[in-house]
Amino acid sequence: MEARHESESLSPPQIAAIRRSMTSGRMALTRRSLLRAGGAGAIAVGGLGALGGCGIPPAGRTDANNASDDHSDEEKKVNFSNWSEYMDISEDKKRHPTLDEFQRRTGIAVKYTEDINDNVEFFGKIKPQLAAGQSIGRDLICVTDWLAARMIRLGWMQKLDSANLPHAYANLAEGFRTPDWDPGRSYSYPWTGIPAVIAYNKKATGGRKVTSITQLLEDPKLKGRVGMLTEMRDTVGLTLLDMGKRPEDVTADDYDAALARIQKAVDRGQIRRFTGGEYTGDLGQGDLAACVAWAGDLVQLQLDKPQVEFAVPDAGFMTSTDNLLVPNKARHKKNAERLIDYYYEPKNAAKVAAFINYQCPVDGVRDELAKIDKDLAENPLIIPDEEMTAKSHAFRSLSSEEETAFEEKFTKLTGA
């Protein structure tokens, strides 16, 4: 693969979007800590002033020298970096049972590190080595789709060997197989899906269901009690779907039309505020009657707040992904591939899904998850049925120029 010769330094609007996401968006909180913290508090991250230095230097050709000299056969180990609380864990909080089982089965020791707090901060750690063609000391990493796309495009990730991934190849759910940034999943496999749907507090709505973006933006009975997300792709993507447009094919004119529609709702006082994950507290208390929400939050929120319900709009919902990739110069590529494949065995995937509660990308997991928790196995936010799966959409990959323009407009809209 040859990387594009381009500079992808972050523009001011992109930096503003990252600041917004760090302080209130999906990057601001660890995957399961929000509800345990009562809906408030952001993670500590490196100084935001350093963001200006997160630009990517011009990328030259990626040649064979950037691939691994694989030592998997003689070194039975693999180094895996992941997000906090994104793996099953024992009751005493000291072990990860599935990782222990992988080591017993294969003899491969896993050094598992929860050192990814947000995509940009993590990228800042590994960018200098990747750009210089050096090892980052990790064989497997987990990052969100937009960053995975960028690093693949720059030639900094290794193409996976399908011979080492028989379960992953066979069991990857259809809806995750062909992202536009990695068609056929040559470089990545999803760890989880992250659906964005509608949530509402049925006490706050007087028992009325809220099932469409049209209701959020236009229903006078919800005025001043609606929340939309600070994540541009989710908020605008859902609005586009409600307008009969596909986020996979969004044009600049489509985007502007969606923003204009949201702006009208802002001007009328329909939208209370744009939020990140902190919406859970307001939704549970009824301060927000309805909002756009992330599925993993809702599965957990409903345990304590049964008055909170969700709806998948008939027009469709948005899905993003966190993804497993093998960086250039990884010392144990084959071992990393074996670990990816292990988590595509339904029994192992079920154990992770039961803990993290995000959408599982593994076909055949339902029966195994039912052995652990029947309610989780029947929850469409974790295992969507065919009807829901057909409604899943993803925002298309944006060029650096498009992302700058889109984020600048969205920042003005949200007032961030």
Q: pTM to 2 decimals?
A: 0.82
d(CA 357, CA 194) in angstroms, rounded, equals 10
Measured in residues, the chain has a length of 416
By C-alpha distance, which of 336, 284, 290 is closest to 112? 336
Is the pLDDT at 355 greater than 50, yes or no?
yes
CATH of region 194-319+398-414: 3.40.190.10
The architecture CATH gives domain 77-187+326-344: 3-Layer(aba) Sandwich (3.40)
For tokens 């991250």, what's the residue? 45
What is the per-residue pLDDT across 121-160, written as a single tens digit (0 to 9) for each?
899 899 999 999 999 999 999 999 989 998 999 999 999 9
Of 130 and 22, the structure prediction assigns the larger pLDDT to: 130
What's CA 103's distance to the chain center, in Å?
Answer: 27
Residue 302, phi then psi, degrees to nearest 5: -65, -20
pLDDT on residue 278: 86
Of 6 and 161, the structure prediction assigns the larger pLDDT to: 161
By C-alpha distance, which of 120, 136, 116, 138 is closest to 128? 136
Q: Which DSSP string do the residues of 232-260 spell out, in sequence order?
A: HHHHHHHHHHHTT--GGG--HHHHHHHHH
Cα torsion 295, 346, 108, 160 to 10°: value is -80
Adjacent-strand bridge partners of 198? 292, 311
pLDDT on residue 121: 86
pLDDT on residue 118: 77
What is the per-residue pLDDT across 51-74, written as a single tens digit (0 to 9) for each?
333 443 444 434 445 566 899 999
- Topology agreement, domain 77-187+326-344 and domain 194-319+398-414: yes
**Mean predicted confidence (pLDDT) in 176-192:** 96
| DSSP E strand stretches across 18-135 | 77-83, 109-116
By C-alpha distance, which of 325, 336, 362, 358 is closest to 347? 362
Q: Which DSSP string do the residues of 70-102 spell out, in sequence order?
A: --TTTS-EEEEEEETT-S---TTSS--HHHHHH
What is the per-residue pLDDT across 265-288, written as a single tens digit (0 to 9) for each?
999 999 999 988 889 999 999 999
pLDDT on residue 14: 57
Q: Domain-by-domain residue ranges, the chain?
A: 77-187+326-344, 194-319+398-414
Share of the chain above pLDDT 90, in %: 73
Range with top average pLDDT, 6-10, 215-219, 354-358? 215-219
pLDDT on residue 300: 86
Give the lowest-confidence range in 6-10, 120-124, 227-231: 6-10
Is the pLDDT at 35 greater than 80, yes or no?
no
pLDDT on residue 365: 97
Strand 188-201 to strand 317-325: parallel, antiparallel, or no bridges (unpaired)? antiparallel
